[in-house]
Amino acid sequence: MQIKKIRIKNLTSDYSILIGNNILNTIPKKINKLCPQAKKIAIVLDKKVPSKFKKKLKKILEKYEVYTFEFVTSEKLKSFTNVNRLAEKLLSKNFNRSDILIAVGGGILGDFSAFVASIVKRGINFINIPTTLLSQVDSSIGGKTGVNSSFGKNLIGTFYEPKLVISDVSFLKSLPKREIVCGYAEILKHSLIVKNNFFRWLKINSKEMLEKRNQNILTSAIYKSCKVKVFFVNKDFREKGLRMTLNFGHTFAHAIEAKNKFSKKINHGEAVLIGMMLATKLSYIKRICTKKTLEDLKDIYIKNNINYDWNKFFTKRDKNKIVDFMNNDKKNNDKKINLILLKNIGKTTKPGEYKFTNQQLKNTLIKIN
């Protein structure tokens, strides 16, 4: 069992991400070291995670007083009402700061559980076991917790770091293909925003990863991807500037999702994949990147059968609506739409460098076929 390890060390935290295949057995030893006073453990589980993992966790943690809480996940789980319910349950069992909440699920379950962990008794120990590719490469890193509000997604939350993240690729066997593609969108993004040959590696290995779910390739892709996210988070934990680079393709994506009323017709990852291509086409029109860069990116989409064309889904009127939604993005700090664009593979524009008025963007996007 080979385990890859990434240590996250910044002003507020110091913890590790462990990545590998069948690595849950490492947990008891880690807990002994990281939370030596713990007596109680709440395992908060996504109901779609195969039950063998629940059994295994209960077995390896049998020396603790373990409580399990299972949830069917949807964005509706990320609500104050549900947070309050789980918090009250933990309080009724007398959980205190030295005890542990372990989240076992995708980004929804992770965001929700981490928020609960951050507010019960002003913060109990939190361990994250992400079980989707997206949560392994994205949402489990960076300390953002949160729930939704009637005003929008993820508008209420805290920054709260886990004591440990365990990304076990064996969870990915049961994940639907569409969810694998969702995680792949973030992996591709990470390969585009830092110069380190990751994109070239991904070009060679994507098919094996997406179609065969090769465990070694998945482990390496998660490791390389996490390293990129950690780089940005460590430089800018509170998201004051540089971390916004991670938003590449996402301003388009959020607006596409909002225009579709967050229906499953286009899921988040699919919207990010379309968004990254739109941002790159825009970069080409604005002469920020060359045709070669655009073609290089297109090639990886085509070879892996990934859709990038928003014309399949949207009319001209819809596209204008999407731009209107882009105006509401919480990363805009004035009336203009702040976009991260691509200079070349491995280099983006700086946050705040390119801003468009609503009309400018509508006029330019008309030119994109």
Ligand X SMILES: NC(=O)c1ccc[n+]([C@@H]2O[C@H](COP(=O)([O-])OP(=O)(O)OC[C@H]3O[C@@H](n4cnc5c(N)ncnc54)[C@H](O)[C@@H]3O)[C@@H](O)[C@H]2O)c1
Residues near ligand X (CB under 6 A) are: 46, 48-49, 73, 75, 105-109, 111, 131-132, 134-135, 138-139, 142, 144, 153-154, 171, 174-175, 179, 182
Nearer to ligand X by Cβ, of 218 and 289: the residue is 218
The label of the residue with tokens 């825009």 reads 282
Q: Strands 342-344 and 152-156: what pairing?
A: unpaired
Least distance from C-beta 358 to ligand X, angstroms? Answer: 25
238: buried, middle or exposed (CB in 10 Å: 19+, 13-18, 0-12)? exposed
| CA distances (Å), origin 196, targets 180, 225, 228, 234 | 23, 11, 9, 18
- Cβ proximity to ligand X: between 244 and 289 the closer is 244
Min dist. Cβ of residue 256 to ligand X (A)? 15
Q: Name the residue nearer to ligand X (CB basis): 45 or 282.
A: 45
Residue with tokens 């110091």: 14
Comparing CB distances to ligand X, the nearer of 105 and 351 is 105
User: Least CB distance from residue 162 to ligand X, whole Å?
Assistant: 11
Q: Which residues are CB-contacts of 159 (< 8 A; sequence separation ≥ 6)?
A: 12, 143, 144, 145, 237, 238
Q: What are the structure tokens assigned to 192, written together?
A: 């585009």
Q: Are 325 and 254 in contact (CB under 8 A)?
A: yes
Measured from the CB of residue 200, what is the shortest distance to ligand X in angstroms? 25
Give the residue ranges of DSSP H helices in 138-259. 177-193, 198-212, 215-235, 250-259
Nearest distance, CB of residue 68 and ligand X, angstroms: 16
Given the complex with ligand X, which of 320 and 325 has the nearer CB atom?
A: 325
Residue nearest to ligand X (CB): 107
Closest CA to 186 of 110, 111, 272: 272
Q: Which is nearer to ligand X, 37 or 263 (CB)?
A: 263
Q: Which is nearer to ligand X, 179 or 296 (CB)?
A: 179
* Shortest Å, Cβ 92 to ligand X: 26
Taking the complex as a whole, how short is the minimal distance between the CB of residue 138 and ligand X, in angstroms?
A: 5
Per-residue tokens: 144: 């953002």
Distance (Å, whole) CA 326 – CA 349: 18
How many helices, marked H, and strands, marked E, lie in the chain?
13, 13
